[in-house]
Structure 1
């Protein structure tokens, strides 16, 4: 299966952080595609070798994590019955992954071994999953997270942080959307799931494997790479989903990561990227790593424009 269509780069001529929230495509809340097995191997390696860095669950999130696993299992078995099925053994209900051979107790234990419910959930999905809970001050915070494909952070560092603190480094986030995000999360209901998308630009080294490309806790742009080729410049997109869990009332936050090499980006999106780059204030460009890849992106865009002009002539 081809990946679920990522939201295109829109080409805004004026820079402003926007929530861009829209109704969730509920039939495709969780998605599977041709990259599933390759990414599953990456997720398995990360959970075995860097478990504490990518998976953290505070004690108060236990019930929510169990509920999340149940929701994920129900959805996958209904949406992809040829790939996932529920089986009952000795009075316990399991979900079986026909692609990997894994089997997880809906309560969170595979093959009799103890495993966190949230870990079981992200071993089934292509999405990273997190639980957001409200604290005594009325702020949502990261109560549990299986974030295997982070950009510039790790769960181990930020578990327990409020949404506001998590976005502290993002230029203009607090001025433009902080209040709207708080109101949006507070108003989310079990019957009104939502989604949004964003994108980054990532630089990969020629010798990097998929784990090193997807797991980027130190950031997306190495400053010692001064002249990346179009094949080494990736458009890294995230589809983010928000669901209020009906039993615990917590929010299940999902993130699906997509990678598109610059030289495979459609011409219209390439033009839109060039347009948006020109609108960024200097400090925004610095935050995004533009000094590393910006000149090469514009150079590649101009070369594509020249090719189109020659064809039309």
Structure 2
């Protein structure tokens, strides 16, 4: 278990595909139905959120995807040509309002972490979490990286020291990415709870079989960068859901089964392999 970081370029920040219109519509509904769980900001995050808004709507999207997004300096507006949404170029004074616009413009969830001036640690100060996987970000506000990841097996021993050091030294202009994956026995994208088993919880009954068309490889593509003005850390997460039937049809069923078998035991338990593992492995190899 390692951080598994790779360099990436600014053009790799957002990857848009055919799922974009559906995902944006879903995110709009989630924000409207559950604003407190999907969006949050502490008072100290105001400048960082405005900086993020300016970067995404005023600079990045119109340049990276000019056929999909446009700015009009005459009316000082940003237009999403896919959804027909129009937003002001100037970020709203309310950080929550600014985050709501970002949340319904891009597919990625975003965490903003800022250095605690009293300690050499970074704390969560703002978030967009429409597609969480077992974490309720509203309950993590103000927490450090170690506190946020406390339930994750092996994080403290394997990742925490290197992640703390990396956050401290990541320079403006250096972008990195990593992948995280698990298996999901349903297609739900928004999971503030679920998909994990924590120590002391009852273990659900093991599945006897799974339908590979309704069982998914859930992959998070995570991009980390430092905002140049506020020096806050911005953590972007795009979620992919690929049916295991597709992976098997592409000839990768055995490779995925082997990867599932090779999970460290504590991490495997946390990711519920005890529930779906045998059924998934058998279905991938049959």
Structure 1 residue 122: Cα displacement: 2.1
Q: Any idea what SS the aligned residue of 1:82 has?
A: coil
- More relative contact order in 1 or in 2 (CA 8 Å, sep 6+)? 1
Is residue 2:122 matched to residue 1:140?
yes
1:79 to 64, 87, 91: 64
Distance 2:74 2:275 in 1: 55
Distance 1:115 1:61 in 2: 10
Contact 1:108–1:115 (Cα < 8 Å) also in 2? no
Contact 2:224–2:233 (Cα < 8 Å) also in 1? yes
Distance 1:170 1:21 in 2: 18
Contact 1:19–1:196 (Cα < 8 Å) also in 2? yes
Q: Render the CA deviation track for 1:143-167: whole Å, top value 9, x for unaligned.
A: 1000110011212211111111111
Distance 1:169 1:195 in 2: 23
Structure 1 residue 118: Cα displacement: 1.9
Q: Render the CA deviation track for 1:14-37: whole Å, top value 9, x for unaligned.
A: xxx110101113222112110011
Distance 1:88 1:107 in 2: 11
Is residue 2:12 matched to residue 1:31?
no
Is residue 2:173 matched to residue 1:188?
no
> Cα RMSD (Å) of the superposition?
2.1
Report what 2:108 is aligned to.
127
TM-score, scaled relative to structure 1: 0.83
| Gap runs ≥5 in structure 1 | 1-16, 205-209, 304-313
| Gap runs ≥5 in structure 2 | 198-203
The aligned length equals 276
TM-score, scaled relative to structure 2: 0.90
Distance 2:172 2:95 in 1: 29
1:164 to 142, 146, 149: 146
Q: Any idea what SS the aligned residue of 2:104 has?
A: helix
Distance 1:269 1:62 in 2: 45
Which 4+ stretches in 1 moved above 4 angstroms? 112-115
